[in-house]
Structure formats: C-alpha cells, structure tokens
C-alpha cells in the first residue's frame, strides 16, 4: 500500500528543510549568478544583482532599528523595486506585508495597524500613521554594509490580508518553513527550468504571486514582470506572452476563458484560484505541447494544497 493520504499527500522529508526565503534565494544567487532573474520593461536584474540590492535593503532596514519578526508593509507600484524590497525584508528577518498598490490609503492604514507594522515601503507619500520608506536605489559600489543575521525557519515570512467574511481585513501569517516547503513541493511537480520565462501578472497581495515569483527564483528561471497597464489588459495579454516568449503561466481560469490560447512557447499552465471549467481545460490543454495543471488551496494552506495535471478529455 502506498504511504499517502488524501489530506497530506506523500511523505517526502527532502522537501521540508531548515531554511528560509532568504537562504533559499542565496543558494539561487550562487548557482545562477549572472543569469537574468527579473525583467521589467527595458530594465533587468541578474540573480547576483538582485542578491546585492536586497542585501543593501536588508542593511537599510536593520539600520532603522527593525527587530527580527517585526512587520513591514509594502505598498508599491509594480517593478524591480517591489521584488527587491520584499527580498530585502526577508533577509532582514522582518515580515513583509504586501498590499495592493490600488487599495485606498484608509484600508492600507487598517492593515498596517492590524499587522503592527514598523514602517511601509512605498514609491509615493501615503497619508498614513506609520513611517514611509523609499526603496534604497541599487548601488553597485555599496558593499561595505553589515548584513543582518536573517530569519529562522519558523519565523513569519509574510502576512497576507484577505477581506474576511465580515469585510474586515483578515491577516494570514505564513512561516518561512511553510512557504519554502511549498516552493520545493510545487517545483517537484511543475519542473521549472532555468531556461523558462515566467509571466508575473498577479498583484503582490494575491498568494499566486508567490508561485510566479518564489518558485521561479528557486528554479533559476527569468521572471517577466508586467506593468500595471499590461496586468489589466486582457485583450493584449496573449500578444504580450508571445512577444516575451513566455513558457510558464499562472492564471485564474476566468482569465484563460477569455484570452487567446495561441501561445506557441507556453509549456506549463497552472490554473488556480477558481473552479476550472471543462471548456477552459479542453481549449488550453494541448498534450505534446504543454502540461495543464489545475491547483487549489486557501491562503491558510500556503498558496496551494492540491495540484493535478489534466488532459483535454
């Protein structure tokens, strides 16, 4: 009899390690070095550059007196700074609280208060009762800083806020251990390659952002970050994917239902966040060309709890 459970799946201790997002990324930076990690418009960052920049941000945070485990909000426009800030927060041993840039300042304040955030990274000047920090610019010559010790596996990596059944923001804390377990487990299923190009379109406040970002960085893939306009332009998305030679797409089924499925290089599709219809599956699953996965998981279970590859029939 197989040692499996409907609730827990196969037991694989190799996927559950004593690690954090910070240590997981450092391993990627050492392994993939000069390879491109992030592309946003005309700008790009290598794994080594993102490692140095996030170290600088971590040192900046430590210099502000933030203690390990304290929360720091991130209310920032899409772009390289957003990803660097989040990685820097992780390296500082703090907890990142990602907030969609388009939510009103009043709701931002409620979330920051609820999380007891020490500060908030932003590229604007929100009228909030908390220190607002600009993300420090990347400085190739700045290597004389002291890097904080970083987090322990059971420290909280991030807190995602959902609307909750009452409409009041509900914070869901996820530990480094759990998100790293998700990264290794899902990577074992998806099998991303360092040659892959992954489209990053989800809001940072939605947990599928973690799949787009953290799994890709673990695998050594290149992430193409959509700007705010592109992320909303459903009619133009297929052309964006073709033009950027995207090979991996994480998307909700309702988006797949209305967009063009002619994406020649697309080899992995992860449809999650909603129920997936038979019509979407039949149109997008193309055996021999791609693998179509349907995934499900409430935020409390660390992004994804179940995942299966499905064919058109």
> Distance between the two ends of the chain, CA-based, in angstroms?
29
Closest by alpha carbon to 38, among 199, 208, 187, 182? 199
Domain coordinates in residue numbering, the chain: 47-175, 178-310
The CATH label, of 3.40.50.970, 3.40.47.10, 3.30.930.10, 3.40.50.980, for the domain at 47-175 is 3.40.50.980
Q: Which tokens in the block code for residue 5?
A: 């459970």
For residues 270-294, give the mean pLDDT: 96
Q: Does domain 178-310 have CATH number 3.40.50.980?
A: yes
> Comparing 5-19, 51-65, 250-264, which segment has the lowest mean pLDDT?
5-19
Mean of pLDDT over the chain: 94
CA 228 – CA 276 distance, rounded (Å): 26
User: For the whole prediction, is pTM greater than 0.75?
Assistant: yes
Instruction: Note whether 271 and 279 are within 8 A (CB).
Output: no
> Residues 62-84: pLDDT tens digits?
999 999 999 999 999 999 999 99
**Residue 62: predicted pLDDT:** 97
Question: 279 in helix, strand or coil?
Answer: helix
Fold match, 47-175 / 178-310: yes
**Residue 34: predicted pLDDT:** 98
50: CB partners within 8 A, 6+ apart: 25, 29, 37, 38, 83, 84, 87
- The number of beta carbons lying within 10 Å of the beta carbon of residue 71 is 24
- The number of beta carbons lying within 10 Å of the beta carbon of residue 24 is 19
CA 290 – CA 276 distance, rounded (Å): 17
CA 142 – CA 53 distance, rounded (Å): 9
> Residues 168-197: pLDDT tens digits?
789 999 999 999 999 999 999 999 999 999
Residue 154 has pLDDT above 60, yes or no: yes
Question: 98 in helix, strand or coil?
Answer: strand
């Amino acid at each position: 009899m197989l040692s499996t459970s409907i609730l827990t799946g196969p037991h694989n201790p190799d996927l559950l390690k004593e690690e954090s997002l910070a240590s997981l990324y450092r391993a990627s930076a050492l392994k993939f070095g000069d390879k491109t990690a992030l592309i946003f418009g005309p700008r790009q960052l290598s794994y080594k550059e993102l490692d140095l920049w996030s170290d600088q941000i971590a040192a900046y945070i430590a210099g502000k007196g933030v203690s390990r485990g304290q929360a720091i909000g991130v209310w920032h426009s899409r772009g390289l700074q957003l990803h660097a800030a989040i990685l820097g927060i992780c390296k500082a041993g703090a907890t990142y609280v990602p907030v969609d840039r388009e939510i009103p300042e009043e709701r931002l304040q409620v979330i920051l208060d609820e999380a007891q955030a020490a500060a908030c990274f932003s590229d604007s000047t929100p009228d909030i009762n908390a220190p607002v920090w600009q993300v420090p610019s990347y400085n190739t010559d700045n290597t004389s800083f002291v890097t904080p010790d970083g987090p322990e596996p059971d420290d909280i990596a991030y807190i995602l806020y959902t609307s909750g059944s009452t409409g009041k923001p509900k914070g869901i804390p996820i530990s480094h251990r759990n998100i790293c377990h998700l990264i290794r487990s899902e990577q074992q299923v998806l099998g991303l390659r360092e040659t892959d190009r992954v489209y990053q379109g989800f809001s940072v406040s939605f947990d599928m952002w973690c799949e787009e970002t953290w799994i890709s960085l673990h695998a050594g893939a290149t992430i193409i970050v959509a700007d705010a306009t592109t992320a909303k332009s459903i009619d133009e998305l297929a052309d964006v994917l073709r033009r950027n030679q995207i090979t991996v797409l994480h998307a909700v089924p309702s988006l797949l239902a209305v967009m063009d499925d002619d994406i020649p290089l697309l080899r992995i599709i992860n449809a999650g966040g909603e129920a997936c219809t038979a019509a979407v599956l039949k149109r997008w699953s193309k055996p021999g060309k791609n693998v179509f996965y349907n995934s499900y998981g409430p935020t409390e279970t660390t992004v994804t709890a179940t995942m299966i590859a499905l064919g058109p029939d």
